[in-house]
Structure 1
Amino acid sequence: MSLGSRWRRMMRSEGANGLALVSPAALYAILLLAVPLCVIFAFSFWTQDYLTIDRTWTLKNYTEAFTEPLYGELLRRSILISGSVTLVTVVLAFPIAYFVSFYVAPERKSLWIFLITIPFWTSYLIRVFLWKVILGYNGVINTSLQGVGIIEEPLTFILYNANAVVITLAHAFAPFAILPIFVALEKIDRSLIEASLDLGENRVTTFLRVTLPLAMPGVVAAVLIVFIPTIGDYVTPRLVGGPDGLMIANMIQTQFLKLNNAPMGATLAIIAMASVTVIALAFVGLNRRFLRGPK
């Protein structure tokens, strides 16, 4: 068989067809994801003097990042805020997804999903500013509580701090948590729940031993979908967080745009991504161990 015949035969094979199908997506991912990440990684080992980039490789940025207390404090605060947002969002999203999946008529589920996605219709900035109005010193919450006599002076702990960031981000990312949990609940075979009840389990134990374990893939997806982007959010902390609500992304933005120190900004970005990766992998590993159960 000639070389040309072999080439034509190989191009007609299933492997070649599969490669042709995934090539556009792979090229897209390489150009828009892998290449920028490699550039950021390279920047983290360089230094900058105003507009001049010194491409001599050095660990100076990493040394400063790990020894400067401010950077560590911002990273710890970011992880804590993002973890709190994830916990609040998933805990509140699960009952909604459960209700839609188990108690809403099949012909009306699409309407409920449609209503859940309504927050996406408005700009993210508009939603943040609305929460600023709601949580403000003379905002809706304080005015209402004062009007009914519950408080005498406006509450000051609900705006320009970490609490405001958690509330705002939890509302913004609620649909991202509801939808994957709903999909996981929809895949559960209802006969398994009926069998559990027929075997003497009550609804609580059935939920804990049947429904929740089977819905865990959706819960894990919701946790990752909420946790990963919120730790990198810098708009919400800037608008409603105040000095006590700023996160590591705000420092990265400052390094890039205000201090003209792109290498340090890249270093902080790499450290933040590495931290998120470790936490995400640890969570997934613990979840698999939990579902596997004791040996």
Structure 2
Amino acid sequence: MAAGNSTEAGQGLRLIAPPLLYAILLLAVPLLTILAFSFFKDGYLTIVREFTVENYVATWTDPIFRTILLRSLWVAGLVTLFTVALSFPVAYFLSFVVASERKAMWIFLITIPFWTSYLIRVFLWKVILGYNGVINSGLKSVGLIEQPLQFLLYNTGSIVLTLSHSYAPFAILPIYVALEKIDRALLEAGRDLGESRLMTFWRVTLPLAMPGVVAAVLIVFIPTIGDYVTPTVIGGGKIPMVANMIQAQMLDIDNKPLGSAIAISSMAVVAALSMVFLWLNRRFLRVRA
């Protein structure tokens, strides 16, 4: 028996070895490189390979970094909240209302935004929200406004709207998968016991769908806080986020050690918040159980 288990383990290891090696090369190596750079000194157009923690001291003592990091967390939090809150009803409708033979078509329609690049979708929102964009032109054509509305673009709201639209499919799909795994007999049992549809949803559907909700939150929150295209294009560069700060240090200022320290610090904050969120979710499910 032990030999059989060992053989199966060896086969499994050989099976996952290629993708594991691929992931290490494409993810771990660059990350370790950035980590190493963060402890080096910056020289003129070069990197001085001398150990130092000055980059982290400069990062955390800089009020600009703290302000931009807090803004990034706030924007990412708003995007995550709106995206997941709007995606859950879509996923629920797709799982519980749409007929089984039509679900594939709906999933196909949800993935249509992926047919175009992320950059094109961002520029399309600039066209929609712009001074002479679709919304302003439409409102002027029907006589509702005389002058174009200037508050539609270059603000936090427009950034949140654009990012929420871009990441909506990433939130809908994991929630839909979690809802599909729910045994419908449990919902019928709840209603047979006299529970209303609302209470059945609160006590049965939502707790069982939480793995999908948690996945959606993490999938949206983590990349959103590192987005630098949307703040540049939709925010007009007036509302920089932490990724824009990293880009400026890495490319414009050419201070890769400091840019690496900012990147590692931001990743540490995001990782800590994600762990806290997962812990709170476990406590929520434990209390509900």
- What TM-score comes out, normalization by structure 1 length? 0.93
**What does 1:223-234 align with in structure 2 at a 5 Å threshold?**
223-234=217-228
Q: Distance in 1 between matches of 2:181 and 2:288?
A: 25
The corresponding residue for 2:282 is 288
Greater alpha carbon shift after TM alignment, 122-131 vs 149-158 = 149-158
Greater alpha carbon shift after TM alignment, 57-66 vs 147-156 = 147-156
**Pair 1:245 & 2:244 matched:** no
CA shift, 1:95, in A, is 0.5
Greater alpha carbon shift after TM alignment, 61-70 vs 153-162 = 153-162
**Pair 1:63 & 2:62 matched:** no
**Pair 1:185 & 2:179 matched:** yes
The corresponding residue for 1:28 is 22
8 Å CA contact 1:193, 1:211 repeated in 2: yes
Structure 1 residue matching 2:148: 3-state secondary structure? coil
State, as a whole percentage, how many aligned pairs show the same letter.
63
Unaligned runs of 5+ in 1: 1-8
The corresponding residue for 1:79 is 73
CA shift, 1:152, in A, is 4.3
Greater alpha carbon shift after TM alignment, 229-238 vs 27-36 = 27-36
Q: Distance in 2 between matches of 1:189 and 1:15?
A: 32
Q: Distance in 2 between matches of 1:222 and 1:187?
A: 16
**What does 1:110-149 align with in structure 2 at a 5 Å threshold?**
110-149=104-143
The superposition leaves residues 100-135 of structure 1 with CA deviations (integer Å, 9 ceiling, x where unpaired) of: 100100000000000000000012111111100111
Q: Distance in 1 between matches of 2:141 and 2:279?
A: 50
Kindly provide the amino acid, as one letter, of the partner of residue 80 in structure 1: W
Q: Distance in 1 between matches of 2:206 and 2:54?
A: 48
The corresponding residue for 1:173 is 167
The corresponding residue for 1:5 is none
CA shift, 1:18, in A, is 2.1
Select which of 259, 264, 270 maps to 2:258: 264
Unaligned runs of 5+ in 2: none
The corresponding residue for 2:206 is 212
Q: Distance in 2 between matches of 1:225 and 1:118?
A: 19
RMSD of the TM alignment (CA)? Answer: 1.8
The superposition leaves residues 144-196 of structure 1 with CA deviations (integer Å, 9 ceiling, x where unpaired) of: 33444444433222211221111111111110000000000000111111111
**Pair 1:163 & 2:157 matched:** yes
Greater Rg, structure 1 or structure 2?
A: 1
CA shift, 1:294, in A, is 6.7
Structure 2 residue matching 1:53: 3-state secondary structure? strand
Aligned length: 287
Q: Distance in 2 between matches of 1:74 and 1:187?
A: 40
8 Å CA contact 1:165, 1:245 repeated in 2: no
